[in-house]
Structure 1
Amino acid sequence: MTASRTPPVVPGLRVEQADAEIWRTVETWAAAAGHNPGVGDFQHAWELDPAGCLIGLLHDQPATAVSIINYDDGYAHLGSYFTAHPDPDPGLRTATMNAALAHAQDRTIGADAAPDDVEYYWQAGFITTWRTLHFTGPVPGRIPNPHIACTPPTNADRAQMAALDAECFQADRHPFALAFTSGPERYTRVASDRSGRVRGYGLLRPARHGYRIGPLYADASDIAATLFDALCEIARGLDADSVTIDVPDTNRSARDLAESRGLSHLAETIRMYRPGRLPVRPTADKLIYGLTSLNAG
């Protein structure tokens, strides 16, 4: 299937901005398709860039959805494409995706493509870079390292957390990074040194099945492991039966951590970029032990 810049004619289809209520419904489509998004993740995307949360209405009924978040003048991130029903007309996808690409204008666009979709993205001008490995399994029973303190973030920590996220992402997204780690049922832990410098932080949040960990950033593998174990300790206290984390294959230490905690590599996606007016900003891959969200990057 070829993704053209000219949307195909699909009788009865119009693609428009989704309102908040219908966008919450899209999260149920994701679950039905076998995804396991964090509860509330889709709402964070909508609040950040509602004009990029698009719904395809076929004869006035919701049929397709895709999100694309314009983070700044140079970078946008394309979220997953979902449908109300399995195996829709391929033209629906192309029309919906082209509306998303138009929203990004001349920005560089990042996306996490399922292996079966890579050719589709190639034809839309994307290039492959690295893999994201999806690990899941029973909540590990390890106790956090007592020599590394993991605490809820203070107001003084938050600016450093946002700066750390900016090192690990293709755009500076301070408001989103802080909002994503706040709110009900979102458990954030920070590891700092004696001078108050944040060396890493991680988030635990409920998902459709079990709990998700991510983001997880750290400047050393022992810091990452202690944060991971601290978040798992919280998950056990919440009677969680499983945890999931998305790990970039560019950081071997991140993969080692997931495997050492007994998690299984069950699936993967491919990080792809469509070049825009500005080049993709390099990220500090060695700091990334868990991605924030496949829908938001």
Structure 2
Amino acid sequence: MAAEYTIRNMQRCEFDLAVAWAREQGWLQGPYDADCYWQVDPHGFFVGVLYGEIIAVISAVRYDSSYGFMGYYVVKSEFRDRGYGIQLFNHAMAYLGDRIIGGDGVLERVEDYRRQGFVPVYQNARYSTKSQLFDASGEGLRELSTIPAASLLAYDDVHVPAPRHQLLRCLMGQIESRSFGIQENNAVTGYGIIRKCDTGFRIGPLIADTAESAERIYRALAGSIPAGTTVFFDTPLINQNAVDIAQRYGMEHVFSTARIYAHGAPRLPMDHIYSLIGFELG
């Protein structure tokens, strides 16, 4: 490897380049997501630089001492298969250490990730549809801002490998976003967020104890934006109730990814997880 190739921490302004490259690869991006993602771990974003030019990017955020997630792995096309990407990838892995490491990889690259110690555990799918005006009324359904933050965050903690409080607060505070939850007998039983993205809106996360609650929250979210707007829904395929919602509302399958883990896999109540924040941060 040429001595002129170096790896260093990404600057916040350079993360916008990584987002642009991800968009070019067909990875859905939100106009306000970058600031939220960056806050999770500002030290967990890296660039590969050749003769002063950034040719590769990657994120490897530490959620806590036990869990991390990798994403935004892009190498400029003219520099691929020359060893630059794998050197950056290994640097990101070293930064995360012996944590459980998650990621979402395109299906055709699964065997490559196996060679780096990752194991595919299940598949996620992106679906899309057009929003409609739904009747989403019902007992306990309310704006998420009216639910005590401590109750919401405690509920979310049960459904993720590591707390993501700051990330959730940031997503909920985005302009062009709406969020709803269900609280019954002072207990949170589900919540969801819809936020602006490149070509419409994306729902995520959406977590609920039951399929009925998840569908009520979905209807509230999808019905909160102008009718006819494109809505994206990133769901784990091992949650059949989530797939059923996608099919019931006429969603089209866009593409699938493999959820991969290194150093073991977290045990989560996947039957409660209906839509993800995104493929970049899990």
Q: Which amino acid aligns with 1:291?
A: L
**8 Å CA contact retained: 2:48, 2:57:** yes
Q: Distance in 2 between matches of 1:210 and 1:234?
A: 13
Q: Which runs of 5+ in 1 are unaligned?
A: 1-8
* Partner of residue 30, structure 1: 22
Correspondence for 1:215 among 202, 205, 216 = 205
Runs of 4+ in 1 over 3 A off after TM superposition: none
Q: Which amino acid aligns with 1:198?
A: V
* Partner of residue 273, structure 1: 261
- 1:54 is displaced (CA, Å) by 0.9
**8 Å CA contact retained: 1:130, 1:271:** yes
Kindly report the root-mean-square deviation, in angstroms, between the aligned alpha carbons of the 2 structures.
1.8
Task: Give the secondary structure class of the aligned counterpart of 1:34.
Answer: coil
TM-score, normalised relative to structure 1: 0.89
Correspondence for 1:59 among 51, 57, 63 = 51
- 1:10 is displaced (CA, Å) by 4.2
- 1:152 is displaced (CA, Å) by 1.8
Q: Which amino acid aligns with 2:257?
A: T
Q: Which amino acid aligns with 2:202?
A: R
Q: Distance in 1 between matches of 2:78 and 2:121?
A: 28
* Partner of residue 251, structure 1: 239
Give the percent of matched residue pairs that are identical in Structure 1 and Structure 2: 25
- Aligned residue-pair number: 281
Q: Which amino acid aligns with 2:238?
A: T
Cα offsets for 1:118-170 (capped at 9, x unmatched): 1111000111100001111222x251332245322236432222222222211
* Partner of residue 166, structure 1: 157
Correspondence for 2:176 among 169, 174, 185 = 185
Q: Distance in 2 between matches of 1:59 and 1:251?
A: 47
- 1:214 is displaced (CA, Å) by 0.2
1:38-49 pair list within 5 angstroms: 38-49=30-41
- 1:41 is displaced (CA, Å) by 2.3
1:33-112 pair list within 5 angstroms: 33-83=25-75, 85-90=76-81, 91-112=83-104
| Higher deviation after alignment, 86-95 or 218-227 | 86-95
Q: Distance in 2 between matches of 1:31 and 1:70?
A: 23
Q: Which amino acid aligns with 1:143?
A: F
**8 Å CA contact retained: 1:23, 1:43:** no
Q: Which amino acid aligns with 1:45?
A: Y
Q: Which runs of 5+ in 2 are unaligned?
A: none
Correspondence for 2:9 among 9, 12, 17 = 17
Q: Which amino acid aligns with 1:288?
A: I
* Change in 2 beyond 3 A, CA 1:87/1:167: farther
Q: Distance in 2 between matches of 1:265 and 1:228?
A: 17
Cα offsets for 1:201-255 (capped at 9, x unmatched): 111111111110000011111111111111111122xx66201111001210001
- 1:174 is displaced (CA, Å) by 2.4
- Given the alignment of the two structures, is residue 284 of structure 1 paired with residue 269 of structure 2, yes or no? yes
Cα offsets for 1:72-129 (capped at 9, x unmatched): 111111113123x335322121011111101101111111111121111100011110
Cα offsets for 1:240-272 (capped at 9, x unmatched): 620111100121000100111111112100011
1:217-236 pair list within 5 angstroms: 217-236=207-226
- 1:182 is displaced (CA, Å) by 2.1
**8 Å CA contact retained: 1:215, 1:292:** yes
Task: Give the secondary structure class of the aligned counterpart of 2:225.
Answer: helix
